[in-house]
Amino acid sequence: MSNFTISPSPHIHGGDSIEKNMYGVLIALIPTFIFSIVFFGLGAILVTLTSVVACLVFEYVIQKYLMKQRPTIWDGSAIITGVLLAFNLPSSLPLWIVVIGALVAIGIGKMSFGGLGNNIFNPALVGRVFLLISFPVQMTSWPVPNGFATTDAVTGATPLALVKEAVKSGQTISDALASGGFTTGNLIIGNIGGSLGEVAALGLLLGFAYMLIRKIISWHIPIAIFATVIVFSGILNLANPEHFAGPIFHLFTGGMMLGAIFMATDYVTSPMTHKGMLIYGVGIGLLTVIIRVFGAYPEGMSFAILIMNGFTPLINRYCKPVRF
Amino acid sequence: MLKTFKIGGVHPPENKLSAQGEIITLPLPEQVIIPLSQHIGAPATPVVKKGDQVKVGQLIGQAAGFISANIHSSVSGTIVSLDPVIDASGYPRPAITIKVEGDEWDENILKDPASKHPGDFTKEEILKAISAAGIVGMGGATFPTQVKLSPPPGSTAEVLIINGVECEPYLTADHRLMLEHGKELITGIELIMKALGVKRAIVGIENNKKDAIEELGKHARLAEGIEICPLKIQYPQGGEKQLIQAVTGKFVPSGGLPIAVGAVVQNVGTVYAVYEAVMKNKPLFERVVTVTGKALKEPGNYLCRIGTPISQLIEAAGGLPENTGKVIGGGPMMGKALTNTNIPVTKGTSGILLMRQEESSRKEYRNCIRCSKCVNVCPMGLEPYYLMLLGEHAKLEALEAEKVMDCIECGSCSFTCPANRPLLDVIRLAKAKTGQMIRARKN
Amino acid sequence: MMTTTIIYTIISLCAIGVASAVILYFVAQKFKVEEDPRIDTVESILPGANCGGCGKPGCRGFAEATVKATTLDGLFCPVGGAETMAKVATALGMEVTAQTPQIAVVRCNGTCEHRQRTSQYDGYKSCAIEHSLYRGETDCTFGCLGCGDCVTACPFDAIHMDTNGLPVVTDEKCVACGACVKACPRNIIELRNKGPKDRRVFVCCVNKDKGNIARKACTVACIGCGKCVKECPFEAITLENNLAYIDFRKCRLCRKCVSVCPTHAIHEVNFPPRKITEPAEEKQI
């Protein structure tokens, strides 16, 4: 008797897989990683490696011993969380803090919701924000880029912090930037202080292009964020150029690029429809500029993304695709 | 810029292995099994007894009701039994088994087409011939054609759309039909236009069949009001609503029929059957079937009698390969997996696809990662990931609100899902359950 | 300075608290729903499993139904059983109607060795989907599909898939809520009387095919031979569509049918082992 396989249609599959998408994102992160090594040297490698290994270990242990499932650490999602967490940290951060960040990111940010696909908030950002609140001093001492130079790392302010201080003390923005030596060219290449993966705008944009070509993400979220930031900060800048920084400054400083391209576009925590993605992007853009300009923290990207992550279920509820 | 439908869609590998294979007439089998339900609607009532002698084209099953279709004998011989026979899904279904004893055709069937011009037939004559011949939609839906050609009162057809898309991978039966019987098809289209009372017909053909576009175009120029519309390759363009949207740009409303936008869609296979029914007085008792598969020796297109066991088709195409893991009736996207090869060819069988062992099993599925790819490919603008979630928990009201009834079961979502989730499996059941609930509420 | 801050804090917090309390009080009054207080009383007696075994949407739905009803006829909580119903009756001052305790019985014995697999199902693991797609992995179009829809449906963890691919009911846990009966697309599971000392006799097959077809698909299928019907002294067995059925209301557990069944399709459970087992197979030949 013939022993055929019976299954409902369709009988073929497109061959796409979770791994293909996840490793695609990792490939897109390579240029940024190279830039970060150039700027921050050994520190960048150490922090990234520690973070990735810690994320993998925590994911394995939790899946195997707490959730009693078959561990799926090689699907790439834990590696991405590790890399993104590292990219959001200063390269001089003590490695034990990195490990704590990885534990919070994987344990609380991802696994406590049931693992891949079920988390509400971006795990890497949960880890980062936890560290930012728990270890404010270590988390805000940014080494100035000096590559593999052997001299002791010098720490300096990020452009965002500098501007914040300047506005508080009544200085004009252009003076403050000039005193810190931040030119527009430096901002774009990323030769400035900051988290190890967020400074190299060029590398991040390369990754964006790669992900668009591979169709790993759609353009909607990043472009909506960029457009909102440009328009909103542009209006503020026109109203008072000495008090509010311009769009270029906002686009190329802090975690804007990294957040918009790699963190906000996380599959699990972003909306499902294109319309929803646009709303989500606009929300992130607005919140980021509001926190940066009016809030207590110099940088607002992480908070903005986490807040909009919370709105994602609501956006999914009300933003339906264009029906036939 | 070629036309196509606007929402969703995927492009599976085409694999049209048998595109160059001319239609071969299959020798008569020793015995045919003719199911009484080869169409949507009520099964036909048998009008023969065990032991009766029948001729090719003789009526053996009478349409039972408005939505039903006549069934004719495809061979000449003796009725062996009227017992139910195991069908494709393994359940017994009413059928008539006939022992083949020759090839004597009913004397009313004309060997050569009537010399009458399509315009000389009246609307009633054409519809009557279609109804008598038991013609159903041959693209796979098997809806009785005369019902489709009689628009409900209050609505009028404006345009006839002919489906020559054949968007399913592997299948080439319609392609070959268009290449080899272009002239007859155009006559058939003229007949249906007359029956519908429309002045315009558009033939939608995907651009991977350039030769068919050219061939049909050549004949269409001689007729009036028939246009050929090349379409960009995209699945599921053969879906009725998708094809109408691609060709005319109009959206059929949710829950509505194509007639709501003045369109009637017919498959090229159906058009050919209409041509034969009207011009030759020949009932629907044979059809072109693609037999294909990567491991098969000679994938090809065969003209065979309804009721021929598919094992004979596979034999003709080089025999069942050793490593066959799955036999599919139809194409790989919407076809039905068969339990054995003894089941007969029916009016809706457009192809037999053999899949190798390694192609036939699915990968293990994992958590939904909410990548939204299913939402982007759904040609009906639904959210498959959400429908699956609701379906797993049998939330029927929510499913209805999410328009699960609009799902055309094309399988694009399952095809695309990176987590290999069996979206359509669950959605199909959820749709059936929701449909039951809606019907129960109406009663 | 410090003290004033603390005092202001305390005062403002208290003020907010009082204001909220007042608002809440009026809102609660305004939107108050008048309900029969007996509903709460009955609900507190019920087990609170919300299984739907009574046919009502959850325990509260059942409580509402009992309060509205004039008698308790037709209202029965299968989980709580007679004890709970007696309490409900006392609370409402009504008479309770006696109900025989029931249990879910799986009527298929088509294990791998009895039923040959003739195809491989490779879709979403759900009996309902497999059933709507085709006849299943074996040639039996009536038997258990083994995907465990009943296991998923059971709110009491009382049914499990055995290693041989068939569901097994744990007697102690089953409360006869009927969730599995509804979940089974092939109507294999039936609620039957638990029987004295939990002893039951039933036909462990639902195959309505003719004898030869049924036997070909499964060696332990009911072939509709009718021997049990003739053997039964109490007219408890009926034969319809090639399938024997034992009416548990009439069956007196004499077990005569069990020994005459040529395919061993009739099962007895919880009986002490027999002293003499009649070789049924030999008798047939």
Q: What is the pLDDT of residues A150-170, one digit of tens each?
A: 555 567 778 888 788 777 777
Helix (H, G, I), strand (E, B) or coil at B153: coil
- Give the residue ranges of DSSP H helices in A41-70: 42-61
Chains that touch A (3 or more CB pairs under 8 A): B, C
Residue C118: both structure tokens together: 């003739």
Cβ–Cβ gap A3/C124 under 8 Å: no
Identify from B367, B380, B390 which residue to disrupt to test chain A contact, counting A C-beta atoms within 10 A and taking the largest count. B367
In our burial notation (b when 16+ CB lie closer than 10 A, e otherwise), range B216-231 reads bbebbeeeeebebbbb
The pLDDT > 90 percentage for chain C reads 36
ipTM: 0.90
**Residues B201, A301: Cα–Cα separation, whole Å:** 57
- Give the residue ranges of DSSP H helices in A88-158: 95-103, 123-134, 136-139
Identify from B251, B371, B405, B413 which residue to disrupt to test chain A contact, counting A C-beta atoms within 10 A and taking the largest count. B371
* pTM given for the model: 0.89
Residue A51 is predicted with a pLDDT of 96
> Residue B96 pairs with which residues in a beta bridge?
B34
CB pairs under 8 A between A and B: 150
> Residue B231 pairs with which residues in a beta bridge?
B3, B206
**Residues B337, B330: Cα–Cα separation, whole Å:** 9
Place of tokens 């050609």: B149
* DSSP conformation letters of chain C: -HHHHHHHHHHHHHHHHHHHHHHHHHHHHHTPPP--HHHHHHHHHS------TTSSSHHHHHHHHHHH-SS-TT---TTTHHHHHHHHHHHHT-PPPP---EEEEE-----TTTB-B-EEE-S-S-HHHHHHH-S-SBS-SSS---S-HHHHH-TTS-EEE-TTS-EEE-TTT-----HHHHH-TT--EEEEE--GGG-EEEE-----S-HHHHHHHBTT------HHHHH-TTS-EEEETTEEEE-TTT-----HHHHH-TT--EEEESPPPPSS---HHHHH-
Distance from CA of B138 to the nearest CA of A (A): 19
**Residues A256, A300: Cα–Cα separation, whole Å:** 9
Which residue in the set B251, B355, B371 is minimally distant from A11, CB to CB? B355
**Residues C218, C138: Cα–Cα separation, whole Å:** 8
**Residues C116, C108: Cα–Cα separation, whole Å:** 14
pLDDT digit string (tens) for chain B, length 443 residues: 788 998 999 999 999 999 998 999 999 999 999 999 899 889 999 999 999 999 999 999 999 888 899 999 999 999 999 988 888 888 888 999 999 998 889 888 888 887 778 878 899 999 999 999 999 998 878 899 998 898 888 888 999 999 999 999 999 999 999 999 999 999 999 999 999 999 999 999 999 999 999 999 999 998 889 999 999 999 999 999 999 999 999 999 988 889 999 999 999 999 999 999 999 999 999 999 999 999 898 899 999 999 999 999 999 999 899 888 999 999 999 999 998 888 999 999 999 999 998 888 888 999 999 999 999 999 999 999 999 999 999 899 999 999 999 999 999 999 999 999 999 999 999 999 999 999 999 88
Dihedral pair phi/psi, residue B148, rounded to 5° = -65, -30
Handedness of CA C276, C281, C284, C285 (dihedral sign): negative
Nearest to residue B271, comparing CAs of B171, B208, B202, B370? Answer: B202
**Residues B333, A9: Cα–Cα separation, whole Å:** 6
Distance from CA of A4 to the nearest CA of C (A): 5
Nearest to residue A144, comparing CAs of A43, A46, A51, A47? Answer: A43
**Residues C43, C230: Cα–Cα separation, whole Å:** 49
Dihedral pair phi/psi, residue B53, rounded to 5° = -95, 135
List, in order, residues 6 or more apart from A311 with CB less than 8 Å away: A280, A283
Residues recorded for chain C: 285
- Cβ contact B286:B74 at 8 Å: yes
Beta strands in B63-158 (DSSP E): 71-72, 76-81, 85-86, 92-93, 95-102
Place of tokens 């940066």: A292
Identify from A11, A13, A277 which residue to disrupt to test chain B contact, counting B C-beta atoms within 10 A and taking the largest count. A11
pLDDT of C283 > 50? The answer is: no
